[in-house]
Structure formats: C-alpha cells, structure tokens
A and B are shown apart, each in its own frame.
Chain A
Amino acid sequence: MMHNPENLVEMRGIDKRFAHVYALKSVDFEIRRGEVHSLLGENGAGKSTLIKVLTGVYPKDGGEIYFDGKPVEINSRDDAFNLGIACIFQELSLVPTLTVAQNIMLGKEKAKLGVLQKKSMNREVSELIKRFDFPLRAEDVVETLSVAQRQMVEILKALSTNASLIIMDEPTASLSSKESEMLFRIIGQLREKGVSILYISHRLEEVFQLSDRITVLRDGQLVGVVPKEEIVPADVIRMMIGKELSEATASRPLKVSDAHTVLQVRNLTRLGSFEDVSFEVKAGEVLVLAGLVGSGRTEVLRSVYGADPIDSGTVLFEGKPYRHSVSTAIRLGFGLIPEDRRTQGFAPLLSGTRNVAVTNYDKLSRLGVVNAKKEKQLGETMVKLVDLRPANPTVPVGNLSGGNQQKVVLGKWLTRDLKVILIDEPTVGIDVGAKDEIYNFIEQLAARGVAVLLVSSDVAEVLRVATRILVMRNGKVVHEFNDGVVTQENILLVSSGMAEDHRTEAKE
C-alpha cells in the first residue's frame, strides 16, 4: 500500500469484534494534515468503535495504523496522547474546581522543588489564550465557565500538548448557536495552523459547513469517503441508510386512527429539555417520537409518566387532567419501559417473579403483607405471556440475555390492566430474533387497545411499528408524518434539519 505523505493518520483494514459480532470489518480510514474530516453513520454503524480503536480504548483485532507515515501500535490512551491524538469528549473531562491554567497545565505543572510557579504558568496560558483570542482568563475557575468555554479549555489543553489531531465528538450538543459559531471559527483557526480535526456530529448542517471530507460508515463497514463539494445531504443520508433495503421495511403507510383519544399532551414544556410539545395518542395507536439522540424525546416520555417535573403545559388522560406523579400514572394504567433497562428497568439481583411483582404489589398484598402464592402465580403468568427463556421465573434477571431481560421489563406491565404504555428505545443491544418478538408484543398491546408512545432512534424500527410519527429536533416537535407513505430517508432528513420545515398544521 502506498502511503500518501499528506496523510497524518491512516487506518488500514481495521477489524474489531465483540464476541463473534463484527463491530468494524476491514475499515480503511485516513485523515490528512490540516483537514477537518467528518465521520458519519447511524447509531451502531461503528463510529465510536473506530474512534476508540484510534485512541487506544479498544484493542483492534486486525489491520494497521500509521501515524505520520510510520506504523504504530496504540494500546492505551497514553499511547494516543503521546502520539499527539487528543480527544474532546461529550462528557467534559476537566477538573471543575481548578483554574483554567491549572487544568491546562495539569500533570505537567511548572514547579521548583514542588512549589508551583503560578505566575509563569498563568502567563504562559494567557499567551495561549491570546493566540486564539478565546473569551477566557487563566485564573478563572472551570466550574464557573459555560459549557462552550469549558470546551475551549479542553481544546487549549489538547493544543498545549502539541496535539496534531483533535477528535471532537458531538461538540455542539450543548452549545448555543453563538457559541457554536465561535467553535467553528476556532476549528478554522486550528486547520490553518495545520492541526487535523476529526469531527463527529449528528447535525448534518454543521458537517457540511465545516468538513473538507466526509467518511460514511454503515454496519461496521466503510461506505465511502467523499469531498464535501461533491455531495449533497440527501446523498449522505442515502449512504448512511443503504440502498439494498427491501421496500417493506424501507417505507410504511401511515394513517390517523379514529379511535378515542387516551392521552392528550398540550404545550408541555420543561426548561432545558423540551418546549411547547403537543400531541395526542389514541387507543390502539403506536405513536413514535423520532429524532436524533438528545432531541428531548426521552424527557417528554419521563415527564408524561410523572417521573420528571414540568414547567408548563398540561397532560390529559381520557380528557381529564391528573396529578403529576408516578404513582398516579401507574394507578391510571400507565406503564414505562425505560431507555436504560440495566439501571432503570429491573433489579438485576432479584428474580423475574420479584421484578414483575414490584409493579403489582397493590394486587398481591393485603395490609403490606405479600401473598406468596399469588406472587408465584404472577411469575408463572409472566413467563407464559412473554415466552421467557429459560422458562423459569426464579432466575435473577441479571443472569438473563438482553432480549429476555427486556421481556421481563415488558412483563412488569403486561400483567396489568394497561391503558397507556411509554416505551423508550426498546431494542438497543438486543439480537434480531428477540427484536421481532418485542415488536410483536408491542403490536399485540396496540391490538388490545392500549395507546403506545414509543421513542426510537432506529429508523428501521420506527417504520416497523409506527402508525404515526412525530419528529423532534432540539426539544421541539418539528414534523408529523400521519398519512401516506414515509421512508427512512424522509425521517432522517427531517431529524437532522436538512429538509424544508414543513410541519403539518393541526389536524383538519
């Protein structure tokens, strides 16, 4: 293989397996000196795995990495750091109680006999700040800074180690537009100084504004590398989705149900999470909230359930308002299947029976004393209802497979008289066979007249189960798909803000 001397990083034929599943399969990837390179792909396409291989978090299972034309082994974060690869993560990695200067100089402080040369350090950092004209002072304490300012500190910290490649993972996720503009200007400055940037973002508009080139991954494989000038957003989305999808899952006919309205949400706002969200869900409907991660969908779900407070707006159940609390919601017949089932969905050390019983103690106990026989019956009912494997309700749920864990979480609600079920990312980390079973349960529930409100980032999944789709972006509902045929492409374009904002008017 010829090495292009323009390349700072070359990754050739990178393989990465988890158990027997390929997360990356023979991926080639390269970044030139002084370019802004974007990495795109749907959730699970292998973006973060690739970055983790590059930064030494995961060892690779095959392939080579060249840095500056020389073959290198990156086995730890230290290795990456020493080569000059710096990472600016979504979760910021600064020390909040120290000053800007202390953070930038952390681990390489100037000291005589252990006593810090504060003045000299502050002066050096001030000069660094001046060079980029950042709105920062060396003496500021990091916890008093805005998120954008903290990112600048991280960038300075990377630069102070003479990083030649800075990886930015969703850097604008919590920035205002003004702050984002500033970041983009900084990225421009860095490029001029010959620093390479690897940029990862769900926001296609940013990607197109900033990048020199774009690499697209899908299912752990390279789809293509294209210069920005030669491509339009719709092409990129097509590359991300892939063309070989069958018509059945690639599109879906939708319609508005004429059943009675179960859940009605009006102008719901929670500051910092979502605002002015209105929709209704009818009996037997599966309403999907689609959109990008961080667009506020999960928060809407939790607020409707009463788990998070709301700042304004109303939620009506069968036309009547109700007290905003989880216990009221459960009594009315709400169920929630949370996003992270490991931390919110079940108690791993308890048996299947106990987990299901938790939401049913009102029926299983009298004066606080649990009827053990009824509890046992309930466990057995649940096993049959969700087809649990192994068919033993006494196994601790933590020992089950991901799919079966999710079945237990479903079972918690299936044994109740449900009116509304709120489901958040139900099939993350679940194998294909179990996915289908879970879709079947959702359909069964809908057929029983339950109103289903589902959040999903998996566009194929959205099209598999939805009868109606709302797309959220930046905490607001930006589009509703409620009739005709919708495709994956439509949804992704709207989600990423690259489509004309043609929000449908209130239902005629």
Chain B
Amino acid sequence: MRQEMLRRYISFGLLAALVLAFSLTSEFFFTSNNIYNLLRESSIVGILAIGITMTIITGGNDLSCGALLGLDAMVISRLLYVNEANVWIAITAALAVSLLGGLFNGFLVAILRIPDFIATLSSKFVFSGLTLMFAIRSATGMITTKTLSDPTIKWFGGKLDFGLYYVTIAFFALAILSQFLLKNTRLGVHTYAIGSNRNSAELSGISYIKTKFAAFVMSGFCAFVGSLFFLGKIRAADTESGIGMEFQAISAAVIGGCAFTGGRGDVVGTVIGVLFLKVLENGVLKFNLSTEMQKVLTGSVIVIMLVFDAAYNKYMQAKTSKSAVIAREKREKKVGAQ
C-alpha cells in the first residue's frame, strides 16, 4: 500500500479513536454545542494550516504566518479604532499587507535563495515588529488593546441558527478549494513536483520561483482570512496575537501526512491533523488534565508519525534491494546456463 494511504488511515484512525474515547467518557463531548465549539476552535488554526500545507509540499515551510495573522488583525484594529476608517478599507488594507507579506517571503526564499526555515523565521520577527509599531497606544504612550464593536467584524464571529459558526464554513470551503487546487490544477501538480524532485521539475520547464511565490502568497492569503475570523472571535488584537499558532498548524500538517522533505501530504490530511489536535485539546479541558499532559500526547503522536515515515522508507528500500538480489540471482543462473 502507498505511504500516503497508510498515513491517511493512521491519522484518521487516531482521530476516530480519540473522538470515540471522549464521547464515551464525557457527557459533554458529543453535544451539539461542544461539536460546534470544537469546530470553531479548529477553524482558525486550520485556515493557517492550509497555507502552511502548501509551503510544506513545496519542500519548505512558513513560520511567519502566525505573526502575519497577528499583523493583519492589528492593521484592521488600528484603522478601525484610531483612524476610524471604513471597515472594508481596513479589510482591504489587511489583504494587501498579507499578500505583500507572502511576496516578501517568496522574495527571500525564491530570489535570495535563503532556506525557508531561516527566511520565514526572520520575516516572523519583521511581522511581529510591525505589529508592535501599529499597536494602539494609550495617552501615556503605553501599548493597549481595544475591543472593536464594528458590526462587520462581529459578523465574522457569528454562526448559523442551528449553531455552526461561519468560520467553520470558511475553513471547510477553503479546504475543499485548496484540495482541488492541489490535485486538479496545473499549479497544484507543479507544487508537488517542485517539492518532490526540484531538479526534474525544473528540467520539465516548471519555474521554481513562480511556484514558491505562489505557495507563500497562498499562505499569506490564508493568514488574511484567518485574521478576519480571529477578530470576529476575539474582537481585539494584541501584540502577541497569532504568534505560536504556526506551530500548531505545522504539527497538524505533519500529523496529516506532510513531509518536511516536500512532495507529500494534502489538505484533507491537514484537516484531519487539525481536528486531531483540537479534539485532544477539547477533551483535555473536559477532564481538566494538565496542559503538560496534552503537550506530551501531541508530541508523542508527531514522533510516532515521523518514526512511521522513517520505518516505511527503510522497509521500501530493503524491499527494493532484496528484489534486486533475487533478480540478479536469476540472471546469474541464466548466464551460467549459457
């Protein structure tokens, strides 16, 4: 069986096991309110994780998207609160900031050829520095945060009558869209090709630069969408908003089957990974287990996934080399017979 399928079964199995375990042990887990709340909690990280999945498939990463989400949220808050701008102008400005952020990452990685990890780690600091610069300040000059009351921003935190939050709808819509993009478009195939075997992809006329730029711009766009729903939920941006979310998103992608070496994984896997992380977090709150416990569990699952990847690769190598020996023996016999 292919590695992808096996990984899909394992991650899905883990998610199902977790859901089952919590459903049986907590009266509050399988209630409509909890499910919708759980999906809501998953959605913002999930939206970021979709963007990160794109960059990981190209063989890279994006450590800056959490900070970019925070920057977008801060830009909107500042324009609304300090400049009293129209909400749509504020949102457009955040979109522009996000896309510029994506282009900046693309420039660092594709043009300046800085490794993804280092490039996006640096841009993370740039973005959080900008967030501090844009932060709202009180009369004494200290940074403060303000709750927004704009109805459009409030709308982003809303839900349908029966309880499903808009952010969840956006998350699933974005997931379906990007899964289609990855699997059924030219850009998607190029994304896998660049991540899996860059040399061969470039020889086939695929542009490394364009593909990398596309991935980072998409990651930036996801940060933008995430920031809207983040503001809808929290209705305030502080200087640390979003920072650290990228690690949850990366963990989700890895649990879902993405490989840091690139070329592997997809959005469906990442969605499963996000749900796994959030179900675990949710269940932990139900039993009031320590957060240390939750971190150890999450870490262990990621290690298990990575160990599986390594073992699978080793197994495949052994299998091919053994079949080569058998083939060689047959040939030797044939040569001997002649």
Q: Interface on A for B, CB 8 Å cutoff?
A: 77-78, 81, 93-98, 102, 106-109, 111, 114-116, 118, 141, 143-144, 146-147, 174-180, 271-273, 275, 474-476, 497, 501
Q: Is the interface of A mostly helix, strand, loop or mixed?
A: loop
A451-B287 Cα distance, complex, nearest whole Å: 68
A15 to chain B, nearest CB (A): 27
* A503 CB to nearest chain B CB (Å): 11
Report the Cα distance A94→B322, complex, angstroms: 22
Closest beta carbon of chain A to B15's beta carbon, Å: 23
| Contact among A95, A108, A176, A501 with B193 in the assembled complex (CB-CB below 8 Å) | A95
Shortest beta-carbon distance from A266 to chain B in Å: 19
Q: Which of B2, B186, B203 has the most CB of A within 10 A?
A: B186
Structural contact, B327 and A178, CB atoms closer than 8 A:
yes
Closest Cβ of chain B to A497, distance in Å, is: 7
Q: Is B78 an interface residue (CB 8 A)?
A: no
Question: Do B328 and A271 touch across chains, with their CB atoms under 8 A apart?
Answer: no
Give complex CA distance A202, B188 in Å: 40
Chain A nearest CB from B118 CB (Å) reads: 20
Q: B336: which A residues are within 8 A, CB to CB? A: 501
Distance between A245 CB and nearest chain B CB, rounded to angstroms? 30
Q: Which of B184, B189, B322, B327 is close to A179, meaning CB atoms less than 8 Å apart?
A: B327
Contacts of B200 in A (CB 8 A): 93-95, 106
Contact A93 B192 (CB under 8 A): no
A272 touches B322 (CB 8 A): yes
CB of B83 closer than 8 Å to a CB of A: no
Contact present for B327 and A98 (CB under 8 Å): no
CB distance from A405 to the nearest CB of B (A): 28
13 A–B contact pairs at CB < 8 A? A95-B196, A96-B196, A96-B263, A98-B196, A106-B193, A108-B205, A109-B189, A114-B186, A118-B184, A143-B3, A177-B334, A273-B321, A474-B332
> Once bound together, how far apart are the Cα atoms of A116 and B183, in whole Å?
9
| A93 to B198 CA separation, bound complex (whole angstroms) | 9
Q: Are B320 and A147 in contact (CB under 8 A)?
A: yes
Task: List residues of chain B with CB within 8 A of the CB of A273.
Answer: 321
Q: Which residues of A contact B264 (CB under 8 A)?
A: 97
* Inter-chain contact A176/B327, CB cutoff 8 Å: yes
Q: Look across to chain B and name the residue whose beta carbon is closest to the beta carbon of A176.
A: B327
A177 with B330: in contact, given A109-B189, A116-B185 (CB under 8 Å)?
Answer: yes
Are A106 and B201 in contact (CB-based, < 8 A)? Answer: yes
The yes or no answer to B331 lying at the interface (CB within 8 A) is: yes
Taking the closest CB of chain B, its distance from the CB of A208, in whole angstroms, is: 14
A174→B324 contact, CB < 8 A: yes
| Minimum distance in angstroms from A125 CB to a CB of chain B | 14
- Chain B residues in 8 Å Cβ range of A94: 197, 200
The contact of A102 among B189, B199, B320, by CB within 8 Å, is B189
Interface: B335 (CB within 8 A) = yes
CB of A275 within 8 A of CB of B327, answer no
Set A96, A98, A144: member contacting B189, Cβ < 8 A: A98
Closest B residue to A296 using CB positions: B328
CB-CB nearest in chain B for A93:
B200
A81 and B203 contacting across the interface, CB-CB below 8 Å: yes
- B138 close to A (CB within 8 Å): no
Q: Inside 8 A of A95's CB, which chain B residues have their CB?
A: 192-193, 196-197, 200-201, 263
A271 to B324 Cα, complex, angstroms: 9
Assuming A98-B193, A116-B186, is B330 touching A106 (CB within 8 A)? Answer: no
User: Which of B2, B200, B331 has the most C-beta atoms of chain A within 10 angstroms of its own C-beta?
Assistant: B200
Q: Which residues of B contact A144 (CB under 8 A)?
A: 2
B204 contacts which chain A residues (CB < 8 A)?
Answer: 106-108
Cα of A111 to Cα of B185 in the assembled complex, Å = 7
The docked-state distance in angstroms from the alpha carbon of A497 to that of B335 is 9
A107 vs B192: C-alpha distance when bound (angstroms): 12
B325 to chain A, nearest CB (A): 5
Whether B332 lies near A93 (C-beta < 8 A) is no
B1-41 vs A, Cβ < 8 Å mask (1 yes, 0 no): 01110000000000000000000000000000000000000
The interface centre, meaning the residue of A94, A98, A147, A272 with most chain B CB atoms within 10 A of its CB, is A272
A115 touches B184 (CB 8 A): yes
A147–B324 alpha-carbon span in the complex (Å):
10
Provide the residues of chain B in CB contact with A143, threshold 8 Å.
2-3
For residue B331, which residue of chain A has the nearest CB? Answer: A177
In chain B, residues 271-327, which have Cβ atoms closer than 8 Å to a Cβ of chain A?
318, 320-327
Residues of A within 8 A of B325 (CB): 271-272, 275, 475
Bound together, the chains give a CA A223 to CA B193 distance in angstroms of 42
B164 contacts A by Cβ under 8 Å? no
* Cβ of B96 under 8 Å from chain A: no
Chain A residue numbers with a CB within 8 Å of B327 are 175-179
Residues of B within 8 A of A174 (CB): 324
B185 A474 Cβ-Cβ under 8 A: no
Taking the complex as formed, is B121 at the interface, i.e. its CB lies under 8 A from any CB of chain A? no
Q: What chain A residues lie within 8 Å of B193 (beta carbons)? A: 95, 98, 102, 106
Docked complex Cα distance between A177 and B186 (Å):
38
Instruction: Let me know if B206 is at the binding interface, CB within 8 A.
Output: yes
> Would you list the 6 A-B pairs with minimal beta carbon distance, nearest first?
A176-B327, A272-B321, A177-B331, A107-B204, A107-B205, A93-B200
Instruction: Using A95-B200, A177-B330, A272-B325 as known contacts, say yes or no to A106 and B263 having CB atoms under 8 A apart.
Output: no
What distance in Å separates the Cβ of A136 from its nearest Cβ neighbour in chain B? 16
B148 at the interface (CB under 8 A from A): no
Q: How far is the CA of A109 from the CA of B193 in the complex (A)?
A: 12
B187 at the interface (CB under 8 A from A): yes
Q: What chain A residues lie within 8 Å of B184 (beta carbons)?
A: 115-116, 118
Contacts of B321 in A (CB 8 A): 271-273
Given pairs A115-B184, A474-B328, 12 additional interface contacts (CB within 8 A): A93-B199, A95-B201, A97-B264, A109-B186, A109-B189, A111-B185, A147-B324, A174-B324, A176-B328, A179-B327, A271-B322, A272-B321
List the A side residues contacting B323 at CB < 8 Å: 146, 176
Interface residues of B in 39-94 (CB under 8 A from A): none
